Amino acid sequence: MTSEILNDETAVNAPDTAPTDDPRPDGLRRADSLVIVNTGNGKGKSSSAFGMMIRALARDWNVAVVQFIKSGNWNVGEEKMGRKLGVDWFSFGDGFTWDSNDLTNDKAHAAQGWAKAIELMEAGEHQLVIFDELTYLASFGWLPIADIVGPIADRPRHVNVIVTGRDAAPELIELADTVTDMTEIKHAYTKGIRAMRGIDF
């Protein structure tokens, strides 16, 4: 559908299509903090979160990241730069579950990561915490969704939370202030192209 729109000259060249009505709702107010969920099958969930990480750092916020699937041995670019910029970074992932020799160990490691995440929220020392790939702990059945949603809802009110990962549970979506569903239209991987250093990690 996207290509059809782009190839339709009447759509591209249609006059007076820029919006002129202000779309913002009346009565806008400031929030103490937000819960943001980036989910869906498309690329960009973690990338968006780390873009917000940079914004937060530019505002002199303290930022922490907890990763639940990506292994600390992967040496991903966002971790390298995040650490250089003073982000408190914790990797509890053991990599892709299909590569695992012991899912019981992966599950235990993920639970340790969530315990650390709760500790970070409760301490209240970070204005932003990013829980990368947290959704999988619920969708894999490794943790009850109530054990995830409860601590996020009860966090100190100045702590902003970003959660990434596919298949976000309805309870998490209900709690969140902003939810984005990344829709995959095309992905290089489906054409047999490996993840590219500098683009994908």
| Digitized pLDDT (tens) for each residue of the chain, 201 residues in all | 555 555 555 555 667 788 878 788 887 889 999 999 999 999 999 999 999 999 999 999 999 999 998 666 667 889 999 999 999 999 986 644 444 556 777 888 889 999 999 999 999 999 999 999 999 999 999 999 999 999 999 999 999 999 999 999 999 999 999 999 999 888 887 888 888 787 777
Query: Residue 101's pLDDT is what?
Result: 56
Residues 7, 54: Cα–Cα separation, whole Å:
36
Give a yes or no: residue 18 inside a domain: no
**Structural domain for 201, as ranges:** 38-170+188-201
Q: Say what angle helices 103-123 and 145-153 make with each other, to 10 degrees.
A: 10
Give SS3 for 194: coil
Give a yes or no: residue 42 inside a domain: yes
Give a yes or no: residue 178 inside a domain: no
Give SS3 for 67: strand
Domain count, the chain: 1
Give a yes or no: residue 12 inside a domain: no
The CATH number assigned to the domain holding 96 equals 3.40.50.300
Give a yes or no: residue 150 inside a domain: yes
Question: Does residue 182 contact residue 40 with C-beta atoms inside 8 Å?
Answer: yes
Amino acid 142 reads W
Question: Does residue 78 contact residue 132 with C-beta atoms inside 8 Å?
Answer: no
Give a yes or no: residue 24 inside a domain: no
Give a yes or no: residue 76 inside a domain: yes
Query: Residue 48's pLDDT is what?
Result: 97
Other Cβ atoms within 10 Å of 26 Cβ, number = 5
